[in-house]
């Protein structure tokens, strides 16, 4: 099983989405979102090949994989790479966004 390294941008993505759910609905839903992310992360640590390899033109995005957050948050994607014995989570974004641009922008940029 791999260990997980959640990078700063991914943590900021999670914080922003948590705040959005807490404001738009309630903290229970925000907590469910975080729990679904952590369940998905653990699943990817056990089976890192579940995510599909994305094909982006930018070299910084090479070998990046994505996988849907489980449950009712399936529109959100975890973007990661496997580096040695580590699952490196780079971003957590809604999949309907302009992904190549959004992956390179800092969290919260519009």
What pLDDT score does 97 carry? 73
Number of domains in the chain: 1
What pLDDT score does 110 carry? 67
What pLDDT score does 96 carry? 82
Does any domain span residue 110? Answer: no
The pair of structure tokens assigned to 40 is 């998905």
What pLDDT score does 31 carry? 98
- Tell me if 50 sits within 8 A of 17, measured CB to CB: no
What pLDDT score does 109 carry? 87
Range(s) of the domain holding residue 57: 3-104
Domain CATH code at residue 31:
3.30.2310.20
What pLDDT score does 24 carry? 97
Does any domain span residue 84? Answer: yes
Low-confidence residues in the chain, pLDDT < 70 = 110
């Amino acid at each position: 099983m791999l260990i997980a390294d959640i990078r700063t941008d991914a943590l900021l993505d999670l914080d922003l989405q948590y705040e959005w759910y807490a404001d738009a609905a309630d903290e229970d839903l925000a907590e469910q979102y975080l729990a679904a992310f952590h369940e998905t992360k653990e699943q990817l640590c056990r089976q890192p090949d579940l995510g599909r390899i994305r094909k982006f033109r930018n070299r910084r995005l090479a070998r990046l994989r994505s996988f849907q957050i489980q449950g009712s948050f399936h529109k959100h994607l975890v973007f990661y790479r496997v580096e040695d014995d580590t699952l490196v989570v780079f971003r957590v974004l809604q999949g309907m966004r302009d992904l190549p641009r959004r992956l390179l922008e800092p969290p919260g940029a519009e």
